């Protein structure tokens, strides 16, 4: 080894006790290796203070650098478990000579072995299949494998069962066209058509700035970071943190992403007043707590569907639930139940409560006439299986071709049938059925079918006829009376068609 000192002054070499040898350098210092020809190993530039190491540098002890420390190698490896930066920042240039991604990659533990060992292959596989054949350093994948060359480069392949089971190899090269062949370093047992395999892509976990999409991303990749300045993540990874403070949260894809999962649900979600929770790709629907109400507002640009497998409960405490459009069941559903009946049901004036698939009948309060209308295309039937039916109103209007009453029709107190301005027409009554008068049914009229006569009788007292004229007329039969007949002018006289 030659030691050359370059400059006008003379250099010298000296040794100090407990400090080792030292050099006094007039200008530059160059160290060469003459085997087999002179090669520059190290140069110290006196004017700039720059130390140049031409080849490898092995330092067994500590190195202290007072100025800037520039390493031009690509890549540079630091074989250490912990790297500490004492003063603030590590700067990663995303594109010193052109655009590219920048960040940090974690290489996960995985080695080639024959015992199904490693962290990467402990994941859920990205793809599985059955080989179609194999050779000393390759395996041909099944029909579902990618047809793109180099697609699986950097992935890990695990033979899970069949010939060569347990072998784990890194994919060195892949030819997708034709054979779909994966090249590896070699097999201990050559796979064949019975070999089932799994493929894993999460070789590196990357935390980096994605220049293409202008965002920070955390994902997995099988790419060798020294091979490309851009990262193409195969999948994004789960993230667990404490509180997150964010200006906005966006879905990473146009199709949306889940917030939580069936296995990991969120707890309570708090949203500020007068802030909207939008739904739909065009924000067609939303929920908001309106402080001006105050009330919870649920809105849809089209319709709102409320569905519950075991029922639907709407609770507003002591408040109300306002609905601004129609409420339509998905099928024929009950409103309330035998155990949970509704309280008062209020409906606006001139609004119909329809019944039947084709709205054949309805109830309506007609504000113009101040009356409740019950209408049906065919027959209106009011039934009660055990109790009576009570109609409470000053006046009841019945407008139908036929009115059938299956039970008794009882007034609530003394009520008129008809009025001075709205009389009934003919009243038809069945044979041997009584038309009673008096609180104790003291008098009656009926048609006696057995004797074919109309009977007028009283159980106590007498029958009094007060009229300007009183006619008793029979169709060929005699009129009979039992008891005393009394009267005032003009008396009891025949009408020319019977006898006294």
**pLDDT digit string, tens, across residues 121-172:** 999 999 999 999 999 999 999 999 999 999 999 999 999 999 999 999 999 9
Distance CA 74, CA 71 (A): 9
Contact indicator for 442, 462 with CB cutoff of 8 Å? no
pLDDT exceeds 70 at position 244: yes
How far apart (Å, rounded) are the C-alpha atoms in residues 435 and 446? 6
C-alpha separations of 121 from 140, 430, 437 in Å: 19, 94, 100
Supply the pLDDT for residue 243: 87
Q: Is 357's pLDDT higher than 60?
A: yes
Assess if residue 492 is contained within a domain.
Answer: yes
Does residue 112 sit in the same domain as residue 199? yes
- Reply yes or no on whether the pLDDT at 473 is more than 80: no
Q: What is the 3-state secondary structure (H, E, C) of the chain?
A: CEEEEECCCCCEEEEECCCEEEEECCCEEEEEECCCCCEEEEEECCCCCCEEECCCCCCCCCCCCCCCCCCCCCCCCCCCCCCCCCCCCCCCCCCCCCCCCEEEEEECCCCCECCCCCCHHHCCCCEEEECCEEECCEEECCCCCCCCCCCCCCCEEEEEECCCCCCEEECCEEECCCCCEEECCCCCCCCCCCCEEEEECCCEEEEEEECCCCEEEEEEECCCCCCCCCCCCCEECCCCCCCCCCCCCCCCCCCCCCCCCCCCCCCCCCCCCCCCEEECCCCCEEEEEECCCCEEEEEECCCCCCCCCCCCCCCCCCCCCCCCCCCCCCCCCCCCCCCCCCCCCCCCCCCEEEECCCCCEEEEEECCCCEEEEEECCCCCCCCCCCCCCCCCCCCCCCCCCCCCCCCCCCCCCCCCCECCECCCCCCCCCCCCEEECCCCCEEEEEECCCCEEEEEECCCCCCCCCCCCCCCCCCCCCCCCCCCCCCCCCCCCCCCCCC
Q: Which residue has the higher pLDDT, 183 or 13?
A: 183
pLDDT, residue 321, reads 78
- Same domain for 200 and 153, yes or no, is yes
% residues pLDDT > 70 (the chain): 76
Rounded distance between C-alpha atoms, residue 291 and residue 124, angstroms: 48
Residue length of the chain: 500
Convert the pLDDT of each residue in 410-467 to its tens digit.
Answer: 777 777 887 888 888 888 889 999 888 888 888 889 999 998 898 888 876 677 766 5
Local confidence band at 489 (pLDDT 50, 70, 90 cut-offs): very low
> Residue 25's closest CA among 39, 13, 42?
13
Q: At residue 484, does pLDDT exceed 70?
A: no
Cα(first)–Cα(last) distance of the chain, in Å? 170
Contact 252, 258 (CB under 8 A): no
What was the pLDDT predicted at 225? 66
Identify the band that residue 290 occupies on the pLDDT scale cut at 50, 70 and 90: very high
Cβ distance 233 to 225 under 8 Å?
no
Examine the domain organization and report whether 492 and 443 are in the same domain.
Answer: yes
Q: Which of 205, 228, 250 is the last residue of a domain?
A: 205
Number of domains in the chain: 5
Q: What domain range is 196 assigned to?
A: 102-205
111 & 200 share domain: yes
Please report whether residue 326 resides in a domain: no
Angle at 309 between CA 308 and CA 310, to 5 degrees: 90
Between 46 and 438, where is the model more confident? 438
CB 47 within 8 A of CB 61: no
- 11-20, 44-53, 176-185: which has the highest mean pLDDT? 176-185
Among the ranges given (189-193, 303-307, 432-436, 441-445), the one the predictor scored with the smallest mean pLDDT: 303-307
Residues 454 and 397 in one domain: no
114 and 195 share one domain: yes
- Average predicted confidence (pLDDT) for the chain: 79
Half-sphere exposure of 321 (CA within 13 A, CB side): 9
Assess whether 109 and 195 both reside in one domain. Answer: yes
Q: What global pTM score does this model have?
A: 0.53
Does residue 42 lie within any of the structural domains? yes
Q: Quick one: average pLDDT of 179-195?
A: 96
Q: What is the predicted pLDDT for the residue at 97?
A: 66
Of 42-51, 87-96, 426-435, the range with the highest mean pLDDT is: 426-435
Q: Which of 25-29, 175-179, 209-213 has the lowest mean pLDDT?
A: 25-29
Contact 288, 277 (CB under 8 A): yes
Between 18-27, 29-38, 371-380, the lowest mean confidence (pLDDT) is in: 18-27
Asked if residue 293 belongs to a domain, the reply is yes
pLDDT at 495 over 90: no
The whole-number pLDDT of residue 14 equals 44
The residue among 35 and 174 whose pLDDT is bigger is 174
Residue 97 counted as domain residue: no
With a cut of 90, say whether residue 315 has pLDDT above it.
Answer: no
Residue with more model confidence, 483 or 177: 177
Q: Which of 7-21, 50-64, 225-239 has the lowest mean pLDDT?
A: 7-21
When pLDDT is averaged across residues 306-331 and rounded to a whole number, the result is 74
* Residue % of the chain over a pLDDT of 90: 24
Question: Could you give the CA distance from residue 460 to residue 469 in angstroms, rounded to a whole number?
Answer: 25
- What does each C-alpha distance from 27 to 30, 31, 52 come to in angstroms? 10, 14, 15
- List phi, psi (to 5°) of 120: -65, -45
Angle (CA) 273 279 283, round 5°: 95
Q: Is residue 46 part of a domain?
A: yes
pLDDT at 89 over 90: no
**pLDDT tier at 344, thresholds 50, 70, 90:** confident
408 & 480 share domain: no
Do 398 and 470 sit in the same domain of this protein?
Answer: no
**In this predicted structure, what is the pLDDT of residue 213?**
83
Q: Final residue of a domain: which of 205, 238, 260? A: 205
Residue 383's pLDDT band, with cuts at 50, 70 and 90, is confident
Say whether both 119 and 194 belong to one domain. yes
Query: What confidence category does residue 403 fall into, taking pLDDT thresholds of 50, 70 and 90?
Result: confident
Q: What is the mean pLDDT of residues 266-282?
A: 88
Q: Which of 234, 240, 225, 114 is nearest to 169 (CA)?
A: 114
| Same domain (yes/no): 403, 364 | yes
Decide if 234 is inside a domain: no
Judgement on whether residues 123 and 193 belong to the same structural domain of the protein = yes
Position 17 scores a pLDDT of 45
Q: Return the higher-pLDDT residue of 388 and 146.
A: 146
In a domain, 457, yes or no: yes
Residue 481: what pLDDT? 52
Q: Is the pLDDT of residue 108 over 80?
A: yes
């Amino acid at each position: 080894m030659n030691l050359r000192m370059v400059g006008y002054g003379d250099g010298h070499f000296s040794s100090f006790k407990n400090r080792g040898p030292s050099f006094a350098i007039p200008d530059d210092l160059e160290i060469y290796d003459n085997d087999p020809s002179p090669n520059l190993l190290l140069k110290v530039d006196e004017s700039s203070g720059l130390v140049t190491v031409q080849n490898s540098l092995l330092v067994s002890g500590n190195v202290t650098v007072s100025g800037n420390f520039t390493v031009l190698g690509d890549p540079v490896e630091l074989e250490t478990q912990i790297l500490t930066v004492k003063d603030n920042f590590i700067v990663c240039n995303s594109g010193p000579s052109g655009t590219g991604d920048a960040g940090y990659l974690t290489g996960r533990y995985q080695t080639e072995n024959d015992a199904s060992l490693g962290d990467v292959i402990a994941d859920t596989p990205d793809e599985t299949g059955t080989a179609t054949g194999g050779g000393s350093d390759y395996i041909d994948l099944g029909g579902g494998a990618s047809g793109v060359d180099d697609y699986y480069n950097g992935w890990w392949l695990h033979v899970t069962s069949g010939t060569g089971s347990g072998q784990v190899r890194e994919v060195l090269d892949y030819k997708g066209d034709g054979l779909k062949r994966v090249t590896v370093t070699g097999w201990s047992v050559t796979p064949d058509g019975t070999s089932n395999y799994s493929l894993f892509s999460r070789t590196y976990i990357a935390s980096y700035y994605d220049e293409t999409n202008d965002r920070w991303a955390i994902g997995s990749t099988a790419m060798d970071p020294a091979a490309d300045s851009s990262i193409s993540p195969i999948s994004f990874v789960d993230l667990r943190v404490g509180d997150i403070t964010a200006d906005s949260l966006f879905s990473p894809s146009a199709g949306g992403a889940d917030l939580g999962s069936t296995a990991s649900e969120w707890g309570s979600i708090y949203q500020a007043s007068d802030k909207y929770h939008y739904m739909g790709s065009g924000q067609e629907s939303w929920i908001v707590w309106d402080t001006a109400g105050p009330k919870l507002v649920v809105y849809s640009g089209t319709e709102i569907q409320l569905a519950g497998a075991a029922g639907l409960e709407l609770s507003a405490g002591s408040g109300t639930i306002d609905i601004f459009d129609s409420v339509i069941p998905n099928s024929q559903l009950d409103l309330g139940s035998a155990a949970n009946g509704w309280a008062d049901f209020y409906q606006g004036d001139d609004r119909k409560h329809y019944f039947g698939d084709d709205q054949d009948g309805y109830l309506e309060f007609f504000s113009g006439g101040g009356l409740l209308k019950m209408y049906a295309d065919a027959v209106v039937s009011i039934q009660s299986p055990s109790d009576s039916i009570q109609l409470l109103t000053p006046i009841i209007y019945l407008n139908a071709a036929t009115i059938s009453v299956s039970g008794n029709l009882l007034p609530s107190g003394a009520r008129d049938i008809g009025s001075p301005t709205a009389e009934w027409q003919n009243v038809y009554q069945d044979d041997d059925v009584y038309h009673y008068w008096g609180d104790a049914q003291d008098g009656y009229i009926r048609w006696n079918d057995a004797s074919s006569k109309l009977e007028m009788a009283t159980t106590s007292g007498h029958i009094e006829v007060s009229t300007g004229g009183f006619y008793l007329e029979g169709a060929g039969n005699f009129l009979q009376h039992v008891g005393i007949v009394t009267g005032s002018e003009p008396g009891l006289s025949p009408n020319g068609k019977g006898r006294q």
